[in-house]
Amino acid sequence: MKLILIIFPLLFIASCTHGPNSLPAKSEISTQSQNSLNDSLFSRQYYFRTMNVIESFPLTNDISGCLIGVLERDLNTEHHDIKDSIIEAYRFDDMVYGKPRSRRHGTQVVSIIAAQKNDNFGIAGLAPECKVIAGLFGRPAVEGKSRKEYLQDYETIIEEKTIQLIKYLVDKGCKVINYSFKLGNMSSNMFDYAIENDVVVVLGAGNDNKEDIRYEKLDSVILVVGGIDQNNKRWEERYEILGEEKKGSNYGSYIDVVAPANNLFLCGEASNTSYTIRRKGTSFSAPMVTSLVALIRSVRPDLNAAQVTEIVKQGADDLGEKGWDKYAGYGKINFYKSLNLAIAWPEDNRDSHLLTDNRAGGGVRNK
Ligand SMILES: [Ca+2]
Ligand SMILES: [Ca+2]
């Protein structure tokens, strides 16, 4: 069984200095310290340390954040920790929204990127300096359809809606788009409009603990993110449902980089002050990379998508066998190293600094 626990507001009040009725006044919000943040659950956000995020704070102090697009089913736009970061949530008239459960995944994903930082409350996002536009594809309407017909049509409809949402987010000016869903049988071309318009797309590799060859068709500018655990090993574990089913990060020739995928404390959908604990999956690794891409594009808006993705890979900390490998890609993302690389990236002859897929002494990526 999935270990999903929701901390409802009462429990949250008991565990935090500030409950929902005692939110900090603006004047109480202290300036950011070099080593820590005052968010109540910050001590549980181990990935700020393991991805060198804290060291990178001085590099992004005065940025004007770029726009981030997030594709989701739905989300809780009123959650206290993320509401100020979401400037729009686009919904279709002909899709179904509204069940609280359908808002869980989106709320969690957005909170990794955009939760308010250093506000004495909840968690800190990795890029709250940037604003989010959520493109929400909901669920297809079921009226008049059998379950079989619904399932047959599901991917076709979601693919069509995803293409429309990508165009919407790109035309709105988003510089990076997060897609924390399975590619399934949907076309790898559905991201083409983003690529043609120099927008970086970030995908989670999936949680099936296998090589999923469908990802091999993706354009090389798309970043595919695998998941690791707190010990820098590929995230992998066993659930016991109807016997034994193994779950873990997918892997293969398409993995670009990895980021933490387990034991994550995230905003919840149950109320505007709820949090979910110990969440897991590559759905949450992807928005960590999306956050880094957004910060890079904010400090260097002149760089193109290929250069930005290169900076993410070059700054990564190699894991496992030397060089690129199919489990860790180029390694674990490192905010401090990649943001420093971005700041130092030359303004002219930039393409001459692009890496090929051959790293000295390392493996060769097949994509
Ligand atoms: Ca917060
Ligand atoms: Ca490696």
* Separation of CA 180 and ligand 1 centre (Å): 22
Q: Could you tell me if residue 358 is inside a domain?
A: no
Residues 308-348: tens digit of each pLDDT: 999 999 999 999 999 999 999 999 999 999 999 999 999 86
Q: Which residues pair with 131 in a beta bridge?
A: 67
How far, in Å, CA of 81 to CA of 160, rounded? 31
* Separation of CA 107 and ligand 1 centre (Å): 14
* Separation of CA 316 and ligand 2 centre (Å): 10
Residues 118-171: tens digit of each pLDDT: 999 999 999 999 999 999 999 998 888 888 888 888 889 999 999 999 999 999
Buried b vs exposed e over 49-77: b needs ≥16 C-beta within 10 Å? ebbbbbbbbebbeebebbbbbbbbbbbbb
- Please give the pLDDT value at position 45: 97
**pLDDT exceeds 50 at position 24:** no
- Please give the pLDDT value at position 242: 59
Rounded alpha-carbon distances, angstroms, from residue 279 to 44, 67, 95? 12, 26, 27
* Separation of CA 258 and ligand 2 centre (Å): 10
Confidence band of 222 (pLDDT split at 50, 70, 90)? very high
Roughly what angle, to the nearest 10 degrees, separates helices 335-344 and 282-299?
Answer: 30
For the chain, what is the domain count? 1
Q: What is the mean pLDDT of residues 18-35?
A: 44
Strands 236-239 and 264-267: unpaired
Q: What is the mean pLDDT of residues 192-206?
A: 97
Rounded alpha-carbon distances, angstroms, from residue 110 to 78, 84, 204, 278, 358? 12, 12, 14, 16, 34
CA atoms within a 13 Å half-sphere pointing along the CA-CB vector of 336:
13
Q: Could you tell me if residue 29 is inside a domain?
A: no
* Separation of CA 320 and ligand 2 centre (Å): 5
- Please give the pLDDT value at position 273: 96
CATH of the domain at 304: 3.40.50.200
Under a CB-based contact definition with an 8 Å cutoff, are residues 274 and 267 in contact? yes
Confidence band of 239 (pLDDT split at 50, 70, 90)? low
Relative to the alpha carbon of 226, which ligand is closest? Answer: 2
Torsion 49-53-59-63 (CA) sign = negative
Q: Could you tell me if residue 364 is inside a domain?
A: no
- Please give the pLDDT value at position 40: 96
* Separation of CA 226 and ligand 2 centre (Å): 13
* Separation of CA 40 and ligand 2 centre (Å): 35
- Please give the pLDDT value at position 143: 80
- Please give the pLDDT value at position 349: 53
Q: Could you tell me if residue 270 is inside a domain?
A: yes
Kindly report the pTM of this predicted structure.
0.87
- Please give the pLDDT value at position 207: 94
Q: Could you tell me if residue 132 is inside a domain?
A: yes
Please state, for a pLDDT cut of 70, what percent of the chain lies above it: 84
Q: 345 is in which domain, residue-wise?
A: 38-353
Under a CB-based contact definition with an 8 Å cutoff, are residues 282 and 250 in contact? yes
**pLDDT exceeds 60 at position 27:** no
Q: Could you tell me if residue 10 is inside a domain?
A: no
Q: Could you tell me if residue 127 is inside a domain?
A: yes
* Separation of CA 347 and ligand 1 centre (Å): 36
